[in-house]
Structure 1
Amino acid sequence: MLAPKRTKHRKAHKGRIHGLAKGGDDLNFGTFGLKALAPERITARQIEAARRVITRHIKRAGRVWIRIFPDVPVSQKPAEVRMGSGKGSPEFWACRVKPGRIMFELDGVPEDIARRAFELGSAKLPIATKFISRATRGA
């Protein structure tokens, strides 16, 4: 699974995800893309599950680019622990995704296969997504 090699701080605040994506909202590598329509934290496990489904459906024919990276540590306190006594330990890594962000890109396969692959991949993600291509980029 994806995780940073090292970070400046071990624990992070939860934060809020406001506004639209400032960057990463255009197709840079592939012909087709999967765009986020809602703000949400996406975990490394969810990214990996979506990647596996997409690559399995295209039968490893094309090329897949992952445009998001889980760099935020999410901490949790153990079950049945009393309030207080500090912040919990980091449990998993997540990525803050804003609306408009391209999460995955795909190239080297026909549009119908790419569309179906992204439908299967978006089922593994906790947010609403949209299929985009170079032809419908302006829309």
Structure 2
Amino acid sequence: MALMPKRVKHRKSQRKRIKGNATRGNTVVLGDWGLQSLDGGYIKANVIEACRIAATQYVRGEGKLYIRIFPDKPCTSRPLETRMGKGKGEPDHWVAVVRPGTVMFELAGVSQDAAKDCFNRVAHKLPVRVRLVGRRPGT
């Protein structure tokens, strides 16, 4: 089942420019290794679910996966072959807004090689460029 909020204040939201780098959620805090975004973009809820399945199938219970992003922005779309006008479309799917530097997924309890292999599988499903980051020593 795709992630989505239980309740929102407004059904439809406007698209905004993704300006600047992430100031929050840009360090590894829950696990030992993280997957950090290098680009800004929108990540759909079903893409997050596909990444979760790919990562959990790889670690197979020996490590723990943390998902640090949540799709809370509605994206609307008009039906195909519809004429112009008649307002904004209905909510179609949910996306998570990711800025450059956001840590999207974290792994705990696995080695660096295992984390690299796992996140390599996850990176193929994402629409943004990513890199592997480790927890900073002393934090």
TM-score interval, normalised by the smaller of the two chains: over 0.9
Q: How does 1:2-21 map to 2 (within 5 A)?
A: 2-21=3-22
Structure 1-normalised TM-score?
Answer: 0.95
Runs of 4+ in 1 over 2 A off after TM superposition: none
**Residues 4-60 of structure 1 deviation map (CA, whole Å, 9 limit, x = unaligned):** 000000000011111000100111100000000000000001111111101111112
Give the CA RMSD over aligned residues: 1.3
Conservation of the 8 A alpha-carbon contact between 2:12 and 2:75:
yes
The total of aligned residue pairs comes to 137
Shift of residue 133, structure 1, vs aligned partner = 1.0
Q: How does 1:54-69 map to 2 (within 5 A)?
A: 54-69=55-70
> Partner of 1:89 in structure 2?
90
**Aligned AA (2:40):** P
Q: Secondary structure at the match of 1:94?
A: strand
Shift of residue 135, structure 1, vs aligned partner = 5.4
Unaligned runs of 5+ in 2: none
CA distance in 2, matches of 1:93, 1:60: 29
Conservation of the 8 A alpha-carbon contact between 2:35 and 2:130:
yes
> Percent identity of the aligned residues?
43
Q: How does 1:1-139 map to 2 (within 5 A)?
A: 1-134=2-135
**Aligned AA (1:91):** D
Unaligned runs of 5+ in 1: none
Structure 2-normalised TM-score?
Answer: 0.95
Shift of residue 110, structure 1, vs aligned partner = 1.5
